[in-house]
Amino acid sequence: MNKKYVIGMICILFFSTPLFLNPYWVDVLNNIGIYAILALSLNFILGDTGLFHMGHAAFFAIGAYTTAILNTFYHIPIILLIPVSGIAAAIFAYIVARPIIHLRGDYLLIVTIGIVEIVRIALINNVFEITGGSNGIFGISRPNLFGLIIRKPIHFFYYIWIFLGISVILFYRLRHSRFGRALNFIKEDEIAAEGTGVNIVRYKLIAFVIGAFWAGMVGNIYASKMTIISPESFTFWESVVYFCIVILGGSGSIIGVIVGSFLLIGLPELFREFAQARLLIFGLAMIIMMIFRPQGIIPPEPRRYNIKSLIED
């Protein structure tokens, strides 16, 4: 029980921090939150299911553009578009993942890189004449939550971090459900899982679609936070960042992924005075961290099962 109190205290302390920080640092925390949610949704695919997926920015982009287009053309409120963006990204994920889901490890990795690049190039080329080309789309409205317009960094802080809290609960529950155990089985031994009757193609696809659905909803939050989006925000490098957050933080570990977001997104802010050499330090840190902690900063706890209760059943 003690552990729960400690976590509760940390949460309360954390949620009061924006009251003491200036807007710039609140905005940094907001970015960390957005990356953390994206990394959590990728973690479900990469960490829990073991699919090498390096194209998560594509689903994020689909969500953000769905919101931007429907909001600027048809003036649909942002809040209503949250599930719509998620569904759009999920449908897209299903269509692109269906033919490639049987690919193994590194082959899947390169194809997912291909997907994010094709999406970015399609956005730049102004596909269907609705994406605004390389300039992107501007004039996206702010979320209006029962009359309260979410506009300032501090508003977005609570908006994003509460969404992150919901994500943590959802992915925690999913991981420890029957479905999550099947995914874990696929990750550990695909052939054995198939032999035991787990429909691996179906399970992998569902994992992909859920991850994409969540990334699409984050796209909505991002679009309304920035009010302007362009293809530059959805490059292959973005996907690499999410990928590194998951692996550095601890693949499969929810706390690890959140800590990873703080490190990869927050830490470079502290090194801002180094300006040009900042990325160099960043790259070096990635190598060093992997050498000293190849399993990630906080690897997931091994699953525990109450054997007694299983026997009594």
Partner 1 sequence: MEFFFQQLTNGLAIGGIYALVALGYTMVYGVLKLINFAHGDLFTLGAYLGFTLLTTFTFQEKIGPLPTIFIFGIIIMGLVGIAGIVLERVAYRPLRSADRLAAVVSALGASIVISNSIMLIYGARFQVYPHDLLPQITLSIFGMKVPFLRIAILFLSIVLMVILYLFIQKTKIGTAIRATAIDHGAARLMGIDVNKIISIVFFIGPALGGAAGFMVGLYYGELNFMMGWVYGLKAFIAAVIGGIGNIPGAMLGGLLLGVIESLGAAYISTAWKDAIAFFVLIIILIVRPTGILGERVADKI
Q: Footprint of partner 1 on residues 42-71 (CB under 8 A)?
A: 46, 52
Distance separating alpha carbons of residues 251 and 42, to the nearest angstrom? 10
CA-nearest of 230, 241, 221 to 63 is: 221
Q: How far is the CB of 244 from partner 1 (least distance, A)?
A: 5
Query: In this chain, which of 66, 251, 253, 261 binds partner 1, going by CB under 8 A?
Result: 251
Which CB atom, from 255 or from 286, has the smaller least distance to partner 1?
Answer: 286
Give Cβ neighbours of residue 39 (< 8 Å, ≥ 6 apart). 242, 245, 246, 249, 257, 260, 261
Distance separating alpha carbons of residues 170 and 157, to the nearest angstrom? 20
Which CB atom, from 169 or from 277, has the smaller least distance to partner 1?
Answer: 277
Distance separating alpha carbons of residues 241 and 227, to the nearest angstrom? 22
Q: How far is the CB of 180 from partner 1 (least distance, A)?
A: 20
Query: In this chain, which of 26, 137, 244, 259 binds partner 1, going by CB under 8 A?
Result: 244
CA-nearest of 201, 154, 138 to 30 is: 154
Q: How far is the CB of 125 from partner 1 (least distance, A)?
A: 5
CA-nearest of 306, 298, 193 to 252 is: 298
Which CB atom, from 108 or from 150, has the smaller least distance to partner 1?
Answer: 108
Give Cβ neighbours of residue 261 (< 8 Å, ≥ 6 apart). 32, 33, 35, 36, 39, 245, 249
Query: In this chain, which of 9, 110, 201, 270 binds partner 1, going by CB under 8 A?
Result: 110
Which CB atom, from 16 or from 276, has the smaller least distance to partner 1?
Answer: 276
Does position 121 interact with partner 1 (CB under 8 A)? The reply is: yes
Query: In this chain, which of 11, 104, 166, 270 binds partner 1, going by CB under 8 A?
Result: 104
Query: In this chain, which of 84, 100, 174, 228 binds partner 1, going by CB under 8 A?
Result: 100
CA-nearest of 249, 247, 279, 270 to 261 is: 249
Cβ–Cβ contacts within 10 Å for residue 55, how many? 28
Which CB atom, from 43 or from 67, has the smaller least distance to partner 1?
Answer: 43
CA-nearest of 92, 88, 85, 90 to 143 is: 85
Which CB atom, from 67 or from 112, has the smaller least distance to partner 1?
Answer: 112
CB 55 within 8 A of CB 112: yes
Does position 240 interact with partner 1 (CB under 8 A)? The reply is: yes
Rg (CA), the chain: 20
Does position 118 interact with partner 1 (CB under 8 A)? The reply is: yes
Query: In this chain, which of 102, 176, 202, 303 binds partner 1, going by CB under 8 A?
Result: 102
Binding residues for partner 1, rule: CB under 8 A, are 46, 52, 99-100, 102-107, 109-111, 113-115, 117-118, 121-122, 124-125, 191, 195, 236, 240, 243-244, 247-248, 251, 276-277, 279-280, 282-287, 290-291, 294-295
